[in-house]
Structures are given as structure tokens and as C-alpha cells.
């Protein structure tokens, strides 16, 4: 952060002197920005976001970085199959949970011993 | 003889210069302090994963799960979940947990290309239903309270209508019920004649498109020029306030892509013209939606200055769920949940969650 020294708007100092001091403040401020931009890539991203009116931290404002064009299967077959598998996975999770709940609610009766066939 | 600048003019110019410099100094200070991390503020453990979804269970100060009545928070699948858990001391879910509830929070994650086929049935009867099942496994409570925010509220209401015995209380926050009410993204898109998403040939709707829809709601103030000018003027505010704005920006400006099929179905079932929630014509996964099955206590909260979910469209819940308690709070869509005045909403929600459930006969769903 630039040095926060005396306020250049001091009534007892001639205006021209105040103006010169103010110019020095500006130079220091711009150097500080330039230094931070050179040292920290994130700072550049944050300045870029601010120039778009956003204080979003940690990533560029949506639309400012060219996104990789999404690979879309022309027939949609493979993506559709992948999602169908995901849907099935979810149903298996639900089924497993249901069986688990039933097992806890109705534990298997203790058996007397191994069942043997005559 | 060189021309000199009159003192009054120089003084004015210097005043402008000092003001602009101080704004940039404040901006520098804000930009060089760590911003929001893009995650929730509360300690949690992941108790369930399903595709990209994570079900988070909040922990107490000793890192243990709480034992109070379970409450499930459903965030909107088109935005980040952490608006409900923004900062220590400014966390809605954290406040509810501190009040003695066993809090669960859904993070829908970020869908990929294959997830563009995810429909309402998948979200409501799949993801949401399995979260409730998991909570029952963990707590032996078959009917947690459910709190839905924005589009998460729509999912929560649909789930409740289809599985009424699985929800003990329902809270809807800024959830649009009447799609014909002026305002909001679907209505604006309808008026502009935008083509809308395709159900049969869906795309993964990019975050930039979703962002542009929000910007469409207020074309002047949300334009690049409007936003930049607004930020420039706000740089007169104290650094602490600017850090607050930055935290909010980390949520507001970080939208996620969405399933085109989900958005197409939402528009088809509940959008302007169709308005299936009010007209009683909506279907989810082939099942007709029967809101008369929603007999448990219901609280709906709207925000008076909400441009995303216009309050009249939210309060319309009373027309289809007549016993619902309708509350309108001052503030905007995000502010009432996570802003400086959000405590009014948190307190009202906690009070509602604590209220005893009066046994009412539950009519069987279709």
C-alpha cells in the first residue's frame, strides 16, 4: 500500500506545493499497482475483475477467459449413456440404503446352526 | 508570460485528484487482502455423495455431529451453495445449527456435459430423495425439516408434494410459485422472445449465459458500464464495507453451468403461460403434482426488493397451499439470506423450525 503520509490538502501550504505532493502520491500508487501486478498473477485477475465492476476473488469474471469449446458428441449417444449410468448409480445407492435400513429394522433371526440337507 | 491556473480551479482539481487516488488506494487494499475462499464457513463432514452432489453435515465446535432435529437446506443448483454459509458469524446454516438443529446442506456441485440430461425427476425423486433417505439413516428421523432457497425451494416444494410423509416442516425462501407474475428471469426471457433451452437436445448451459440472464433483469445497472460506475462510486465506502461487497461478489459473480434439460423442463412446467404450479397442471417424472398433499407447516419468505423472484410471485404460495405462513421482509434476493439484515430471516426461520408440529391428516399423493 502506498505510504499514507500527510494530506496534500493543507490550508497552510501553497496550492502549487500541495499539487506537486499529490502528483508524488499518484506516482507511488501507480508504482505499487505495477509492482503487485508484476509479482502476483492473482492481483492482475482481481484488477481485471474490478475493471468489469466486480470484486470477485480468486477467479476471472465469467466470460473474460475463453472457455474450451465443450466436446459434444454429435449423436449425443455417449453423453446420454454416461448420464443414464449415473442415474442408475443413484438408484443403486437408494436400493442399498433401503436394504440397509430394512436389515437394521428386521435383523435376521439367529440360526440354530448350519442348514444341512438330508 | 506563462498563464497561471487560478487557485480556485487548482483547488477543485486537487480535490478531485485526491478523491480518485483514495478510491484507488482503497481498491488496492481490498484487492490485496485474501478474499472469500469460495467455500462454506462452517465445519462439516460429507455424509453422502451422489454424482456431483455432496451432502454436508455441520459439526459442532468439537468436531462432532449435532443431535438436534434434522434440517435439510437445499441451495439452488445454478449457484454456489455457500451463500447459505457465507462467513463465520454471517452464516444462515451456522446460525440454525447454533440454535440446536442437526443441519445438512446440499452442494449440487458443478455439472459436466453428461449432466445436461439431468431433469426434474433426477433432481427431485433422485438426488433430493436420496439425501433425505441418508438423513434418516443417520438420525432415525424419517421426516426432517426442509429449507429451500430460490430454485432450491422449487425442488424442495416439488419433493414435499410428491413425498409428503418425508418432510415435517417446509421453508421456502424467495421461491417463485406464480410464473405469470411480472419480473424474474423466465418472465423477462418470455417477453424478449428468447428461444429457451431444448428438452430433447439439451446443452450444458454455460455459466456466462446464466450470468447474462441475471444481467438482463436490470440492463442498465448490470451492464459493464453500470457495474463499473457503481463500483467506482462505492470505493468511497470504508474498506470493511468493501470487503463485504467482495464477499458477496464471490458468490453473485461465480455462477455455475446448468443442465439445459432441467431449465427447459422448469420453464415448460412452471414458466409464464404454462404456470403449472398455480394451474395445477405440472408433472414431475410423469407424476402429476398435487400441492394439496402439502399439509405440514409451511413458511414462505419473500424479499420486497427481489428482482430475481418477484415477491408477488413468491407470496402466491398462499393460493395453492392456503395454510402456508407468508412473510415479506425488506431487502433483495441475496441480501435477506446473507446480507447485513439477514438476521431477521434467520430468526424467523429458527422460530418456525422450533414451533411444534400439529398433527394433521396427510392426504395421500397421487
Domains and CATH numbers, chain B: 44-354 (3.40.50.1820)
Q: Which residue of A has its CA nearest to B222?
A: A53
Cβ of A97 and B230 within 8 Å?
no
Distance of CA B223 to the CA centre of its chain: 22
Which secondary structure element, helix H or strand E, spans residue A31, and what is its range? helix A15-39
Secondary structure (H, E, C), B245-302: HHHHHHHHCCCCCEEHHHHHHHHHHHCCCCCHHHHCCCEECCEECCHHHCCCCEEEEE
- Tell me the mean pLDDT in the region B94-119: 96
Cβ of B254 and A97 within 8 Å?
no
- In this predicted structure, the answer to whether residue B161 has a pLDDT above a threshold of 90 is yes
Q: Which residue of A has its CA nearest to B257?
A: A62
| pLDDT digit string, tens, across residues B166-203 | 999 999 999 999 999 988 888 888 877 777 899 999 99
Buried b (16+ CB within 10 A) or exposed e, B206-224: bbebbbebbeebeeeebee
Cβ of B224 and A91 within 8 Å?
no
Cβ of B11 and A15 within 8 Å?
yes
Count other C-beta atoms under 10 Å from residue B344's C-beta: 14
Q: Are B263 and B197 in contact (CB under 8 A)?
A: yes
Report pLDDT for B365.
41
Q: Which residue of A has its CA nearest to B31?
A: A46
- Angle among Cα B186, B125, B197 to the nearest 5 degrees reads 30
Cβ of B127 and A62 within 8 Å?
no
Please state, for a pLDDT cut of 70, what percent of chain B lies above it: 95
- In this predicted structure, the answer to whether residue B220 has a pLDDT above a threshold of 90 is no
| pLDDT digit string, tens, across residues B297-346 | 999 999 999 999 999 999 999 999 999 999 999 999 998 998 888 999 99
Candidates A2, A51, A100; nearest CB to B137: A100
CB pairs under 8 A between A and B: 151
Interface predicted TM-score of the whole assembly (ipTM), two decimals: 0.82
The larger pLDDT score, comparing residue A23 to residue A2, is at: A23
Cβ of A22 and B204 within 8 Å?
no
Q: Are B345 and B302 in contact (CB under 8 A)?
A: no
Which residue carries 455462477 as its cell? B255
Report pLDDT for B117.
96
The nearest CA of chain A is from the CA of B207 a distance in Å of 7
Cβ of A62 and B255 within 8 Å?
yes
Q: Which residue of B has its CA nearest to A26?
A: B21
Q: Which residue of A has its CA nearest to B6?
A: A15
Comparing A71-85, B96-110, B292-306, which segment has the lowest mean pLDDT? A71-85
- In this predicted structure, the answer to whether residue B364 has a pLDDT above a threshold of 50 is no
- Please provide the DSSP assignment of B300-344 as one string: EEEETT-SSS-HHHHHTHHHHSTT-EEEEESS-TTHHHHSTTTHH
Which chain A residues touch B21 with a CB distance below 8 Å? 22, 25-26, 29
Cβ of A58 and B37 within 8 Å?
yes
- In this predicted structure, the answer to whether residue B295 has a pLDDT above a threshold of 90 is yes
Question: Domain-by-domain residue ranges, chain A?
Answer: 15-62+77-105
Q: Are B159 and B145 in contact (CB under 8 A)?
A: no
Amino acid at each position: 500500500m502506498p505510504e499514507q503520509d500527510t494530506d496534500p490538502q493543507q490550508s497552510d501550504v501553497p496550492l502549487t506545493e500541495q499539487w506537486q505532493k499529490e502528483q508524488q502520491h499518484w506516482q507511488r500508487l501507480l508504482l505499487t499497482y505495477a509492482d503487485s501486478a508484476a509479482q502476483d498473477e492473482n492481483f492482475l485477475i482481481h484488477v481485471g475483475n474490478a475493471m468489469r465492476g466486480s470484486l470477485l476473488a480468486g477467479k476471472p469474471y465469467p466470460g473474460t477467459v475463453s472457455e474450451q469449446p465443450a466436446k459434444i458428441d454429435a449423436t449425443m449417444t455417449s453423453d446420454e449413456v454416461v448420464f443414464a449410468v449415473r442415474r442408475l448409480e443413484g438408484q443403486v445407492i437408494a436400493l442399498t440404503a433401503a436394504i440397509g435400513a430394512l436389515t437394521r429394522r428386521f435383523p435376521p433371526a439367529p440360526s440354530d446352526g448350519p442348514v444341512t440337507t438330508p | 508570460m506563462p498563464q497561471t491556473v487560478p487557485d480556485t480551479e487548482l483547488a477543485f482539481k486537487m480535490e478531485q485528484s485526491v478523491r480518485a487516488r483514495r478510491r484507488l488506494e482503497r481498491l488496492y487494499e481490498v484487492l490485496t487482502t485474501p478474499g472469500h475462499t469460495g467455500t462454506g464457513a462452517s465445519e462439516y463432514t460429507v455424509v453422502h455423495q451422489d454424482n456431483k452432489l455432496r451432502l454436508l453435515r455441520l459439526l459442532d465446535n468439537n468436531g462432532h455431529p449435532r443431535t438436534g432435529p434434522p434440517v435439510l437446506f437445499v441451495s439452488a443448483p445454478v449457484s454456489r451453495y455457500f451463500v447459505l454459509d457465507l462467513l463465520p458469524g454471517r452464516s444462515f446454516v451456522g446460525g440454525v445449527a447454533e440454535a440446536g438443529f442437526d443441519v445438512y446442506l446440499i452442494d449440487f456441485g458443478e455439472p459436466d456435459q453428461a449432466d445436461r440430461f439431468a431433469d426434474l425427476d433426477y433432481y427431485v425423486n433422485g438426488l433430493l430423495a436420496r439425501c433425505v433417505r441418508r438423513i434418516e439413516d443417520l438420525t432415525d428421523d424419517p421426516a426432517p425439516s426442509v429449507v429451500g432457497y430460490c430454485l432450491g425451494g422449487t425442488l424442495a416444494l416439488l419433493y414435499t408434494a410428491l413425498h409428503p410423509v418425508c418432510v415435517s416442516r417446509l421453508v421456502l425462501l424467495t421461491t417463485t410459485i406464480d410464473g405469470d407474475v411480472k419480473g424474474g428471469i423466465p418472465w423477462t426471457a418470455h417477453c424478449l422472445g428468447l428461444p429457451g433451452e431444448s428438452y430433447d437436445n439439451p446443452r450444458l448451459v454455460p455459466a456466462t449465459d446464466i450470468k447474462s440472464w441475471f444481467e438482463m433483469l436490470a440492463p442498465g445497472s448490470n451492464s459493464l458500464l453500470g457495474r463499473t460506475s457503481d463500483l467506482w462510486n462505492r470505493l468511497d465506502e470504508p474498506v470493511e464495507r468493501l470487503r463485504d461487497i467482495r464477499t458477496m461478489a464471490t458468490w453473485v459473480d461465480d455462477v455455475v453451468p446448468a443442465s439445459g434439460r432441467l431449465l427447459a423442463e422448469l420453464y415448460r412446467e412452471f414458466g409464464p403461460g404454462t404456470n403449472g404450479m398455480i394451474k395445477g397442471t405440472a408433472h414431475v417424472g410423469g407424476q402429476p403434482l398435487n400441492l394439496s398433499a402439502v399439509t405440514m407447516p409451511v413458511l414462505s419468505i419473500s424479499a420486497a426488493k427481489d428482482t430475481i423472484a418477484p415477491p408477488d410471485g413468491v407470496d402466491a404460495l398462499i393460493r395453492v397451499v392456503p395454510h402456508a405462513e407468508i412473510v415479506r421482509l425488506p431487502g433483495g434476493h441475496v441480501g435477506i439470506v446473507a446480507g447485513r439484515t439477514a438476521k431477521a430471516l434467520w430468526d424467523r426461520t429458527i422460530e418456525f423450525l422450533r414451533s411444534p408440529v400439529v398433527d394433521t391428516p396427510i392426504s395421500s399423493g397421487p
